[in-house]
Amino acid sequence: MASLADLVNLDLSDCTDKVIVEYLWVGGSGIDIRSKARTVNGPITDASQLPKWNYDGSSTGQAPGEDSEVILYPQAIFKDPFRRGDNLLVMCDCYTPQGVPIPTNKRHNAAKIFNTPKVAAEETWYGIEQEYTLLQKDVNWPLGWPIGGYPGPQGPYYCAAGADKAFGRDIVDAHYKACLYAGINISGINGEVMPGQWEFQVGPSVGIAASDQLWVARYILERITEVAGVVLSLDPKPIPGDWNGAGAHTNYSTKSMREAGGYEVIKKAIEKLGKRHPQHIAAYGEGNERRLTGHHETADINTFKWGVADRGASIRVGRDTEKDGKGYFEDRRPASNMDPYVVTSMIAETTLLL
pLDDT in tens, 259-304: 999 999 999 999 999 999 999 999 999 999 999 999 999 999 999 9
Nearest to residue 301, comparing CAs of 235, 351, 245? Answer: 245
Given 83, 104, 125, the domain boundary residue is 104
Q: Is residue 36 pLDDT above 90, yes or no?
A: yes
Q: Is residue 243 pLDDT above 90, yes or no?
A: yes
Domain-embedded: residue 2: no
Q: Does one domain contain both 135 and 93? A: no
Domain limits at 294?
117-353
Q: Does one domain contain both 88 and 196? A: no
User: Per the confidence metrics, is the pTM higher than 0.85?
Assistant: yes
> Which phi and psi (to 5°) does residue 109 adopt?
-70, -35
Rounded Cα–Cα distance for residues 272 and 131 (Å): 26
Given 104, 137, 163, the domain boundary residue is 104
Around Cβ 270, how many Cβ atoms within 10 Å?
Answer: 19
Q: Is residue 13 pLDDT above 90, yes or no?
A: no
Q: Does one domain contain both 125 and 64? A: no
* 249 three-state secondary structure: strand
Over pLDDT 90: what percentage of the chain? 95
Rounded Cα–Cα distance for residues 124 and 114 (Å): 8
Q: Does one domain contain both 178 and 63? A: no
Q: Does one domain contain both 200 and 348? A: yes
Q: Does one domain contain both 197 and 273? A: yes
Q: Tens digits of per-residue pLDDT, 97-152?
A: 999 999 999 999 999 999 999 999 999 999 999 999 999 999 999 999 999 899 99
Rounded Cα–Cα distance for residues 42 and 226 (Å): 28
* β-strands 88-95, 18-26 pairing: parallel
